[in-house]
Chain A
Amino acid sequence: MAATINSEADGNIKESSMSFKKALTAVQPLSLRIVAECPVTKARACDLTLPHCTVSTPVFMPVGTQGTLKGITVDQLEVLGCQICLGNTYHLGMRPGPELIEKANGLHGFMNWKRNLLTDSGGFQMVSLVELSEVTEEGVKFKSPYDGKEILLSPEKSISIQNSLGSDIMMQLDDVVSSTVRGPRVEEAMHRSIRWLDRCIAANKHPDRQNLFAIIQGGLDAELRKACLDEMTQRDVPGFAIGGLSGGEEKDDFWRMVTLSTDHLPREKPRYLMGVGYAVDLVVCVALGCDMFDCVFPTRTARFGSALVPWGSLQVKQKQFAKDFQPIDPDCQCPTCKRHSRAYLHALFKSDTAAMHHVTIHNIAYQLTLMRSVRQSIVEGRFPEFIRTFMKRLFPSRDQYPSWAVEALASVNVTLE
């Protein structure tokens, strides 16, 4: 495989043709076994084996930003069946910092999580959280919100932090551009992301136990995205993420980019769609060929009392639930639904933070159960039927089905009557 590196960079960037050879010959700590493929859509059910355990896909990965999942203990998370969750490089890199986490035996040791961890690069937070950020070829420059010092997050620095965190899957540092941005900046970011991918690959100190995923960019421009796919798939990385979506873009553009991406990603490597977590989006994007998803939505919305259910969501704090003595979802088997009613949770929100934990547990259970059912239906060859039932349950009537979802599903041969 001919590997060329597009290197317009300055002297700071290491030459990395050697790293390609390294990546090719090293033992990769990831293997994907395709258990079933949907004959109608592009969906797959796989067993993704990572250093800490095997993950069943399609999978939803809850987000535990600062080395904790918002009030839930690691035991509770394990009992819910979570096999992989996220930690955030930017936040953990700031507090408590990579040196301390290394001393604690990595993020696994620090939070005492025995299963898999995925860390993002910190790039997204750079751009979304930090106002004074400046992107150059070197990396992203920003002022630390904690002590005002100027920091440069370069591909090397991001990988170095992630190496210290010891996550099973690391994300490359990409040049993140909002999906609502148009024009030459998108192309610039796409090309830079490829160069940064190569720098990340070179910088990875533990290719034998930490998997580096590439992130396909290109915004909403099919040609740019295709160019990015062509280039990045030439790198021998263990997995690919589809990035630059799940921002404020139109859903009509969103799904087209997702399906274009999966069309050109290798079959035998996992596809991770970043930042997607709403139920409809998950089901549709599984149909479009994605295997892995993450999103803060389910855990964040729980803290506001919003419980996710097959027919939408329930705002437990609203007055109408004060005397509703059913559980959130009578069919749900999570610890919250087995023991507590909407009325009790409604009342508890006025007295104690534990109310948030109850809903968080339920929401994580909902997401994981959804993915489990999706997987099961793929394995049993009835995924299209599952989709139809799912949509019927979620939307009161056919004319309320989001048109983008109908089109996206039609594109993979699923018609919703």
Chain B
Amino acid sequence: MAASRMKLELSRVVQGNARLGLLKEMGRMGQHSLDIPGCLLYTHLGTVPHLTQDTLHTLSSLPAVTQVTLSNMAEHQDVLEEFKGGFKKFAGLHDTVLYCSLHDPAAQCPTGHTTNKTVSVWGSGGRIELTVAKFMALQKAVQPDWYQSMADGETWQASASRKRVRKSVDRTLAHLDECLMVHQKSQELDGVGVFGVVEGGDILEERLRSARETAKRPVAGFCLDGFQTGAMDQVLRSQLISAVTKELPEDKPRLLQGVGRPDEVLACVEAGVDLFEGFFPFQATERGCALCFSFDITPDPESAGRADLTAADEEQRTAGETQPNRDLNCVDQTHMTSFEMNLKDKRYRDDFRPLVDGCGCYCCRNHQRAYVHHLLVTNELLAGVLLMIHNTSHYHGFFRAIRAALASDKMDLLRRRVLGNGKK
């Protein structure tokens, strides 16, 4: 059985799709739990970008599930095989549930290298081709708690023909069956959960076929692939995800790959997604930006969690470099979004306020916009550290707000607040 003992306990289902609940008894000892909707802790080889364990743990309540990717991991297979103790021990990770995905959601990879029997990942030294055998050998060396089954998801980067989409569904199912076969024979993977991957591009029938077939297999959860930011507009994405999730069992989590922008997250929660990859804070950090969008819907609009934005700030947020929230087929995620402020901007040079007023993160408690601006202008490494701490904290706060809004039927209000339509 490729399902761990993990249980999904739903406390609410809103409008037939959005789910509020708890994933519990995760991990080898069953000691971890994760509120859903939630996001995973995004890492590069087990390290949250820029952070050491000390700086990481300035954040209270980290997500219980840490994500690593085979893009970072594959080139170290021989090292892990010699180490034998599994990746968590190798990396000196804190006590966490480890999820291993195929690709890094924040890194674009070239297309055109998948075959019937292989998929490719790109490590620091170039392309590494994976057969099911190599893929499973890697999982045995990494020893995660969950992993995404090998999948062909190459339908979203360029408009894929119906034939190509069908092939990706077929291949992904074939890979899943082969992975499960190896999995069931492997003692090292006993108790480890396999997540089946739902493909199907932007074609409804293929999506449904992929969902139904995947659901027949003994998987612990489902990854929704091919919906990455830029793959399709949100309306279509929501339609397809809603249709897909209706075909999936209620008691298994749905993890959406490659979507992290706040507006898209909200829409996808409402379409039935439970888990998101937590890479958006990292992307904002790399642009020198601090997440500042409001998600505070408590009755008093002056309370904590809100960016203290002046009219000028609002103007800067919506003008100039920001991209419209509907960006069809735009795979360039390096552009600043309307959910963040660009601290490299001259206006912050002598702004001595914290990044976000009321934010309790280490950066906002100890430093000011002017200082972070200075670090960015002088190309200092500490900029990345402080921004990563703040952005991660802010993003986790956002997810707490989603859960609170679901609990109190206030999703509409939250959406309006996040999209900046709620006036102060």
Which residues of A have CB within 8 Å of B350? 100, 103
Give bound CA distance, A95 to B373, whole Å.
11
Cβ 8 A contact of B375, one of A68, A322, A350: A68
Which residues of B have CB within 8 Å of A110? 370-371, 374
Chain B 53-73, CB-CB to A under 8 Å as 1, else 0, gives: 111001000000000000010
By beta carbon, the residue of chain A nearest B69 is A351
- Is A347 in contact with B44, judged by CB distance below 8 angstroms? no
By beta carbon, the residue of chain B nearest A94 is B378
A229–chain B nearest beta-carbon distance, Å: 37
By beta carbon, the residue of chain A nearest B58 is A75
Chain A 45-69, CB-CB to B under 8 Å as 1, else 0, gives: 0000000000000000000001111
A327–chain B nearest beta-carbon distance, Å: 9
Binds A, one of B75-83, B295-303, B336-344: B75-83
Additional A-B contact list (13), CB under 8 Å, known A335-B53, A343-B79, A343-B90: A67-B371, A72-B382, A74-B366, A75-B366, A96-B374, A323-B79, A347-B45, A348-B47, A350-B45, A352-B47, A354-B47, A354-B48, A358-B52
- Is B385 in contact with A351, judged by CB distance below 8 angstroms? no
For A336, A339, A344, which residue has the most chain B Cβ atoms within 10 angstroms?
A: A344
Which residues of A have CB within 8 Å of B370? 96, 100, 104, 110
| CB-based closest 3 A-B pairs | A71-B381, A350-B124, A339-B92
Cβ 8 A contact of B382, one of A73, A104, A322: A73
Which residues of B have CB within 8 Å of A104? 352, 368, 370-371
Cβ 8 A contact of A343, one of B52, B83, B375, B378: B83
Cβ 8 A contact of B378, one of A72, A95, A356: A95
- Is A357 in contact with B52, judged by CB distance below 8 angstroms? yes
B120–chain A nearest beta-carbon distance, Å: 18
Q: Report 21 cross-chain contacts, Cβ distance below 8 Å, ordered by A residue.
A: A66-B375, A66-B380, A68-B382, A69-B382, A73-B362, A73-B386, A76-B54, A91-B378, A96-B349, A100-B350, A103-B350, A103-B352, A347-B79, A350-B45, A351-B45, A352-B44, A352-B45, A352-B50, A353-B49, A353-B384, A357-B385
- Which residues in chain A, 321-368, are within 8 Å of chain B measured between CB atoms? 322-323, 325, 335-336, 339-341, 343-344, 347-348, 350-358, 361
Give bound CA distance, A352 to B75, whole Å.
15
* Given A76-B54, A341-B92, A351-B72; A71-B79 close (CB under 8 Å): no
A79 interface hit (Cβ, 8 Å)? yes
Which residues of B have CB within 8 Å of A233? none
Cβ 8 A contact of B51, one of A339, A343, A354: A354
B375–chain A nearest beta-carbon distance, Å: 6
By beta carbon, the residue of chain A nearest B382 is A68
- Is B380 in contact with A357, judged by CB distance below 8 angstroms? no
Which residues of A have CB within 8 Å of B362? 73, 75
Which residues of A have CB within 8 Å of B381? 68, 70-71, 353, 356-357
Chain A interface size range = 35 or more
Give bound CA distance, A352 to B47, whole Å.
8
B91 interface hit (Cβ, 8 Å)? yes
B370–chain A nearest beta-carbon distance, Å: 6
Which residues of A have CB within 8 Å of B55? 73, 76
A112 interface hit (Cβ, 8 Å)? yes
Give bound CA distance, A339 to B79, whole Å.
18
Chain B interface size range = 35 or more
* Given A103-B352, A104-B368; A336-B52 close (CB under 8 Å): yes
Chain B 253-287, CB-CB to A under 8 Å as 1, else 0, gives: 00000000000000000000000000000000000
By beta carbon, the residue of chain B nearest A303 is B381
By beta carbon, the residue of chain B nearest A105 is B352
- Is B54 in contact with A325, judged by CB distance below 8 angstroms? no
- Is A361 in contact with B92, judged by CB distance below 8 angstroms? no
Which residues of B have CB within 8 Å of A325? 83, 90
B367 interface hit (Cβ, 8 Å)? yes
Which residues of A have CB within 8 Å of B83? 323, 325, 343
Cβ 8 A contact of A112, one of B45, B47, B366: B366
B377 interface hit (Cβ, 8 Å)? yes
Which residues of B have CB within 8 Å of A309? none
Which residues of A have CB within 8 Å of B377? 95-96
Cβ 8 A contact of A354, one of B50, B58, B124, B349: B50
Which residues of A have CB within 8 Å of B368? 104
Give bound CA distance, A95 to B375, whole Å.
10
A111 interface hit (Cβ, 8 Å)? yes
A260–chain B nearest beta-carbon distance, Å: 39
Cβ 8 A contact of A339, one of B53, B82, B374: B53
Give bound CA distance, A75 to B44, whole Å.
24
Give bound CA distance, A249 to B55, whole Å.
41
- Is B367 in contact with A112, judged by CB distance below 8 angstroms? yes
Which residues of B have CB within 8 Å of A71? 50, 380-382, 384-385
Which residues of A have CB within 8 Å of B82? 323
- Is B382 in contact with A354, judged by CB distance below 8 angstroms? no
By beta carbon, the residue of chain A nearest B68 is A351
B206–chain A nearest beta-carbon distance, Å: 34
- Is A100 in contact with B45, judged by CB distance below 8 angstroms? no
Which residues of A have CB within 8 Å of B367? 112
For A66, A70, A112, A357, which residue has the most chain B Cβ atoms within 10 angstroms?
A: A357
By beta carbon, the residue of chain A nearest B125 is A350
- Is B380 in contact with A351, judged by CB distance below 8 angstroms? no
- Which residues in chain A, 102-127, are within 8 Å of chain B measured between CB atoms? 103-104, 110-112
Which residues of A have CB within 8 Å of B58? 75
Which residues of B have CB within 8 Å of A68? 375, 380-382
Which residues of A have CB within 8 Å of B124? 350-351
Which residues of A have CB within 8 Å of B352? 103-104
- Which residues in chain B, 241-261, are within 8 Å of chain A measured between CB atoms? none
Give bound CA distance, A60 to B92, whole Å.
30
Which residues of B have CB within 8 Å of A340? 91-92
Which residues of B have CB within 8 Å of A76? 52, 54-55
A364–chain B nearest beta-carbon distance, Å: 13
- Is B79 in contact with A335, judged by CB distance below 8 angstroms? no
By beta carbon, the residue of chain B nearest A91 is B378
Cβ 8 A contact of A350, one of B50, B75, B366, B371: B75
